[in-house]
Amino acid sequence: METIISKPRQIKATTHRFLKDLLKQKWQLLIVVICLTLSTVCTLASPMLMGQGIDQIATGISRAAKTGAHFSVNGKTLGTIVFALLAAYLLSALFSYFSQHILASVAQRLTLMLRKRISDKLNRLPLKYYDNHQTGDILSRVTNDLERIADTLQESLEQAFTSIIMIIGAFGLMLLISPSLTLIALLTIIVSIVAATIVSSKTNGYYAANQAALGKLNANIEEAFTGDQVIKAFNLQPEVIRANDELNERLQKAATKAQFVTYAINPLIRFMSTLGYVVIAVRGALLVIGGRITIGDIQAVFQYVNQVSEPVTELAYTMNALQGAVASAERVYEIEDALEEQADDKAPVSVRPVSGDVAFKHVRFGYEDDQILMKDINFEVKAGSKIAIVGPTGAGKTTLINLLMRFYELQGGQITIDGVDIKTMKRSELHSLFGMVLQETWLFNGTIADNIAYGKPGATLSEIKAAAKAARVDHFINTLSQGYNTVLSGDETAVSVGQKQLLTIARTILADPKILILDEATSSVDTRTEIEIQKAMDKLMQGRTSFVIAHRLSTIKDADLILVMNEGTIIEQGTHQDLLNQDGFYADLYRSQFAVKTAGV
């Protein structure tokens, strides 16, 4: 069922956590605050200096009007004021530049830190997490949400610091000039802030909904790209386009609401400020006429009113932008807070050298604690044995392998290798015992040699070629212009599905694992190639414990043990002949396949 996020669930906790991460660069932030303070002080000094210059000119005009003399001003004094004014503007710009440069570094370092933590976390999350979360949504969190955090910090944090300092400083200087005009400005600002608060109260929910909609859209796009061939084969393009359009429209509506609320605050505060500006202008004119303040002072007040109203507008906008960053941070922290794989034992046990004995002892497992599938699974496998796992689609064959690899934790019982409980082993060592050849092949962007050597870093070219020959893929590789140095691109257009399967088999051969997991490794190749690969597999399995997930029962008659699965658990086990003699589920399954084969002849 689809879940729509209406607002961040723990905004206070997320904000506190975000600030804690940000303050890991407290010294850089302190320098930023100092630079911004100095820049703002220079900016605040400008109206006072300009007011003094205007008063100098006004005094000269007034003196000339009264005495009838020529207009004149003290050039030295006015020159000093102009020089100080220019210096103030220059220093303000320089300090602002330094603060922006340092803040950009802070934002990128914070993003890098979060990205590293998320990358490490994703490697520690259990398989269950990926079962319950769409790949596109995870990608959206580690890309779009992190970028949003960085952009907001870089653009908004400086505005927030500057606005606060500017508001405090401007009000302080206004009080020195005229308390009554300051009171009018203060009332105007209070009304503006209240109005902005009312409007922005919905921002959190809108931004969270926007990011959630973006994550769903990314997930849908990722599925459409990865399943493009299937979509076209079933002529499902219209349905995919329709679903994508719906998600696009949902994102557009969510983004429109978030952006509207954000940008509606600016004109609202400007309107309030304009009304206050008119009142201050009238009141200021009366004070000048009454001789209580000078023209330069009223000019300074006007500038300070602008310097206060602009920061209030920016501060309101910045707070909304920061709320969007908090919504993104919460989505990132949700990954960090996800339950990890159970930690390795503090004193892990090593099983090297490995023989390959495997045992399931009273194993209980279910994807949820209240939905147990395997209630009491018991079987033992001697080293070098061939174990076949059979059953209909969805019977739990892959789940059994995942338990053996400890991708899922048991609710009870234990799984042992050479008598050692796999829970007491380091996962890295446990996984190194296995070699896997699955139906769904995976090759990365690199040379053929690198792909074959993936399971054995540092392998020599002669070892790589030997593995390729054993997998019957050496001849194909040599037909390529670059041979083993041929680079496989992302789409691997030059390599067929069967050839990719052969390369993954060569990779497993080179890794030389003690325990093999084969999931119909020859299902994607032609009959002639299948025979050759089966010979290579038979040779590879000699002396190794092999778990074979089989769909064609005729291929596993010689298995030392056959595990029959249905509805998530093992219902029968034994040799091929033993199971036929039981005349149970396996016998029916085998006869049905034989009947289908006979009917097809």
Burial of 417 (0-12, 13-18, 19+ CB in 10 A): buried
At 399-409, the pLDDT tens digits run 898 899 888 88
Separation between Cα atoms, residue 308 and residue 321, nearest integer Å? 20
State yes or no: cis peptide before 353, omega within 30 of 0: yes
Report in angstroms the alpha-carbon separations of 528 from 109, 460, 498, 500, 501.
Answer: 56, 30, 12, 16, 14
Strands 434-437 and 515-519: parallel
* Identity of the amino acid at 322: L
Evaluate if residue 344 carries a pLDDT over 50. Answer: yes
Which pLDDT value is given to residue 389? 92
Evaluate if residue 4 carries a pLDDT over 50. Answer: no
Which pLDDT value is given to residue 258? 74
Which pLDDT value is given to residue 125? 84
* Identity of the amino acid at 510: L
356 compared with 264, residue with greater pLDDT: 356
Of 422, 496, 201, 177, the closest CA to residue 323 belongs to 201
- What average pLDDT does range 27-48 have in this prediction? 85
At 523-570, the pLDDT tens digits run 655 667 667 667 767 767 778 899 998 877 877 888 899 999 988 889
Evaluate if residue 33 carries a pLDDT over 90. Answer: no
- What average pLDDT does range 256-270 have in this prediction? 71
Separation between Cα atoms, residue 89 and residue 96, nearest integer Å? 11
Evaluate if residue 600 carries a pLDDT over 60. Answer: no
Strands 561-566 and 386-390: parallel
At 205-234, the pLDDT tens digits run 677 777 778 878 877 787 777 777 777 766
Evaluate if residue 359 carries a pLDDT over 90. Answer: yes
Of 214, 313, 192, the closest CA to residue 263 belongs to 313
Separation between Cα atoms, residue 315 and residue 167, nearest integer Å? 10
Neighbours of 389 (CB within 10 A): 26
* Phi, psi dihedrals of residue 517, rounded to the nearest 5°: -125, 115
Three-state SS at 70: coil
Residue 421: partners with Cβ closer than 8 Å, 6 or more residues away: 349, 414, 415
> 380 has which bridge partners?
359
Looking at every residue in the chain, the average pLDDT score rounds to: 80
Evaluate if residue 442 carries a pLDDT over 70. Answer: yes
Evaluate if residue 254 carries a pLDDT over 50. Answer: yes
Please say whether the beta carbons of 360 and 378 come within 8 A: yes
The kind and range of the H/E element at 446 are strand 446-447
Neighbours of 67 (CB within 10 A): 8
Which pLDDT value is given to residue 563? 93
Of 172, 201, 195, 182, the closest CA to residue 270 belongs to 195
At 415-432, the pLDDT tens digits run 999 999 999 888 888 888
DSSP string of 241-299, one letter each residue: HHHHHHHHHHHHHHHHHHHHHHHHHHHHHHHHHHHHHHHHHHHHHHHHHTTSS-HHHHH
Which pLDDT value is given to residue 564? 92
Confidence of residue 364 (pLDDT cuts 50, 70, 90): very high
Of 169, 38, 153, the closest CA to residue 93 belongs to 38
Which pLDDT value is given to residue 538? 75
At 175-211, the pLDDT tens digits run 887 788 878 877 877 777 777 666 666 666 677 777 7
Report in angstroms the alpha-carbon separations of 340 from 138, 334, 375, 398, 413.
Answer: 16, 12, 24, 21, 21
Confidence of residue 94 (pLDDT cuts 50, 70, 90): very high
* Pair of tokens at residue 528: 């002639």
Confidence of residue 339 (pLDDT cuts 50, 70, 90): confident
145 compared with 155, residue with greater pLDDT: 145
How far apart, in Å, do the first and last CA atoms of the chain sit?
46
Please say whether the beta carbons of 511 and 463 come within 8 A: no
Confidence of residue 12 (pLDDT cuts 50, 70, 90): confident
Angle at which helix 237-289 crosses helix 203-226, to 10 degrees, equals: 150
* Pair of tokens at residue 577: 């002949």
Residue 550: partners with Cβ closer than 8 Å, 6 or more residues away: 388, 389, 390, 520, 556
